Amino acid sequence: MNTERIHEMLDRNAASRPEAAAIVDTDGRVVSWATYAALSHEMAEHMQAAGLAATDRVLIVAENCLAAAAAIFGASRIGAIAVPVNARMTSPELDRISAHADPALVLYTSHVSPEAAAHAAAARAASHPTGAGALHAMARGGSAEPGAEDVAVLLYTTGTTGDPKGVMLTHANLGFAARASAELRAMTPADRIYGALPITHVFGLASMLMAGAHAGTAIELAARFRPAALHDALRAGITVLPAVPQMHALLMAHAAEHGHARLEDAALRYVSSGAAPLDPAWKRKAEAFYGLPLQNGYGMTESTAGSSGTRNPIGSPDTSVGPPLPGVEVAIDDSLGAEPGTGEVLTRGPHVMKGYFRNPDATAAALRDGWLHTGDLGRIDAEGRLHIVGRAKELIIRGGFNVYPPEVEAALNDHPQVVQSAVIGRPRAGSEDILAFVQCAAPAPDPEELRSFASARLSAYKRPTHILVVDTLPAAPSGKVLKHKLLAHFADRLDHGAPG
């Protein structure tokens, strides 16, 4: 197991390739590995001056930028725990996390994020110029946490309701994830990663920021995802693109609006999609656009992003999330009573979290007999590849039949005007309605056209009861659609008998 501390990855690159590019910051500034390491030292010194000690938490209210990255590695240098959170959270959301994490210091990347600046102003945080950017900072006087010596980062998951759940990821977790991600993508110092995935979420943190540091690969950071900026970057030297389906869909829609049916004049060699299942038609569409195989993978915050991944050739019909990564075990618990061969996905290995911060009950429920119980439903095929069919809590039971939302979403996403869709169940008289929320490109089809289109691809019991055509879907900064917010977000339309 990798037991180094995460900042040692920076130091290795600073020693072996000091002048090579490490980060392209949001303002276009190119930063070398030597400067990157030095800035992380500066952040560590600032934290110590503010009273931060080993196993104290530092809350980093941020959007992607050099300062946020340097702060994460700076915390590692003094044995503190970085708690990166997205600045676009609302004040109540941020307050709940802050109350639970009890940070000794709060940093705000106010120079790249209006939301971070607003949070800093509300907290009356003081301005603090650094070589990485003009941060705002506020000392809070939190306390060290017994038994947290190996924890590097505390990530709060996108929950539904109830108390925040902080996932404790150790230096060993992040080191393993960095190496596994870099090897899966065959990353080298000659590559350049496009960094729009938020480093405040596990996909961007582990598979992008940490993987880049492990492989010595430069990252072009983007504070926010903009399809036009990504399109330009792909034609200016980006070679590795980790993304979520929403990013791919919006990029392809942008290109189509500007008369581009496919990506041209690009150095891109690797493109992946995560955080949501792939359907065959959408995968074919993406591969035709990129001219490359679209690789898929599976993971969650509690498994430091990665548990499995594909290495498929272009045109492969495989829509699995691939076999387990080297050193990772995956199993299926079929005791949930789902269809034969399908059950809850379990995983164990060096990628599994230490536990939930200050929540022993939730930790005991998730970590049992050495296995992480993911809450996802899946199956393993004859080739040993894992297929995710949905979340256990999102399984829809309609008239006694199991309906998996990703299958319904795949049927809708096959329509040429559909950008993405989200399907949930709503209890009704001993059964469940199937509600489909569909984001479309102009000209948007009406619900009846979508109903007819989906009906040709789905058994009767799987067809949506209601279809709502919407402009956008509520999503986390990572791009993950927040299904638990759909009913409240579109309550007016549902209450007034929206078409479909």
The pLDDT, as a whole number, for residue 163 is 66
Confidence band of 3 (pLDDT split at 50, 70, 90): low
pLDDT > 80? residue 338: no
> Do 474 and 482 contact (CB within 8 A), yes or no?
yes
Q: What is the number of other CB atoms lying within 10 angstroms of the CB of residue 439? A: 23
The pLDDT, as a whole number, for residue 497 is 52
Using CA atoms, how far apart are residues 467 and 477, in angstroms rounded to an integer?
A: 25
The share of the chain scoring above pLDDT 90, in percent, equals 70
Using CA atoms, how far apart are residues 359 and 471, in angstroms rounded to an integer?
A: 38
Domain harbouring 489, CATH code: 3.30.300.30
Q: Is the same domain home to 17 and 163? A: yes
pLDDT > 80? residue 246: no
Q: H-type helices in 277-419, by residue range? A: 280-290, 360-366, 405-413
Using CA atoms, how far apart are residues 273 and 145, in angstroms rounded to an integer?
A: 36
Question: Which secondary structure element, helix H or strand E, spans residue 66, and what is its range?
Answer: helix 66-77
Calculate the average pLDDT of the chain: 91
Using CA atoms, how far apart are residues 307 and 321, in angstroms rounded to an integer?
A: 9
* Domain closes at, from 340, 374, 392: 392
Q: Is the same domain home to 124 and 230? A: no
The pLDDT, as a whole number, for residue 161 is 41
Task: Give the range of the structural domain holding residue 450, as residue numbers without chain letter.
Answer: 395-495
Residue 200 belongs to a domain: no
Tell me what the mean pLDDT of segment 247-253 comes to: 89
Q: Is the same domain home to 353 and 265? A: yes
Using CA atoms, how far apart are residues 429 and 380, in angstroms rounded to an integer?
A: 34
Q: Find the length of the chain.
A: 500
Q: Is the same domain home to 388 and 401? A: no
Residue 18 belongs to a domain: yes
pLDDT > 90? residue 450: yes
Domain harbouring 233, CATH code: 3.40.50.12780
Q: Is the same domain home to 340 and 449? A: no
Q: Which CA distances in Å does 298 have to 197, 372, 378?
A: 16, 14, 11
Using CA atoms, how far apart are residues 93 and 211, in angstroms rounded to an integer?
A: 29
The pLDDT, as a whole number, for residue 477 is 73
Task: Name which of 20-29, 286-295, 325-334, 472-481 the model is least confident about.
Answer: 472-481
> Do 118 and 137 contact (CB within 8 A), yes or no?
no
The pLDDT, as a whole number, for residue 427 is 80
Question: Which secondary structure element, helix H or strand E, spans residue 276, and what is its range?
Answer: none
pLDDT > 70? residue 480: yes
Q: Bridge-partner residues for 270, per DSSP?
A: 240
Residue 289 belongs to a domain: yes
* Domain closes at, from 392, 412, 439: 392
Q: Is the same domain home to 381 and 245? A: yes
Task: Name which of 16-20, 29-33, 59-63, 89-93 the model is least confident about.
Answer: 89-93
> Quick one: tokens of 56?
């104290």
Q: Is the same domain home to 158 and 245? A: no
The share of the chain scoring above pLDDT 70, in percent, equals 95
Residue 307 belongs to a domain: yes
Using CA atoms, how far apart are residues 24 and 338, in angstroms rounded to an integer?
A: 47
Q: Is the same domain home to 383 and 429? A: no
pLDDT tens digits, one per residue of 412-433 = 988 999 989 999 988 876 578 8
Q: Is the same domain home to 403 and 376? A: no
The domain tally of the chain equals 3
Q: Is the same domain home to 123 and 229? A: no
Confidence band of 14 (pLDDT split at 50, 70, 90): very high
The pLDDT, as a whole number, for residue 157 is 85
Q: Is the same domain home to 278 and 371? A: yes
Torsion angles phi and psi, residue 7, rounded to 5:
-70, -20
> Quick one: tokens of 115?
């939301």
Residue 239 belongs to a domain: yes
Q: Is the same domain home to 404 and 259? A: no
Residue 181 belongs to a domain: no
Q: Quick one: residue 488, left, alpha or beta (phi over 0 = left, psi -120 to 50 = alpha)?
A: alpha
The pLDDT, as a whole number, for residue 356 is 96
The pLDDT, as a whole number, for residue 313 is 96
Taking each helix axis as running N to C, give the angle between helix 280-290 and helix 405-413, from 0 to 180 degrees, rounded to the nearest 10.
50
Residue 207 belongs to a domain: no
The pLDDT, as a whole number, for residue 160 is 41
The pLDDT, as a whole number, for residue 405 is 86
Using CA atoms, how far apart are residues 188 and 176, in angstroms rounded to an integer?
A: 17
Confidence band of 146 (pLDDT split at 50, 70, 90): confident
pLDDT > 80? residue 134: yes
* Domain closes at, from 392, 407, 431: 392
What are the residues whose beta carbons fall under 8 Å from the beta carbon of 130, sequence distance 6 or more? 39, 42, 43, 46, 67, 70
pLDDT > 50? residue 396: yes
Residue 177 belongs to a domain: no
The pLDDT, as a whole number, for residue 1 is 39
Q: Which residue bears the tokens 């993508």?
A: 185
The pLDDT, as a whole number, for residue 499 is 45
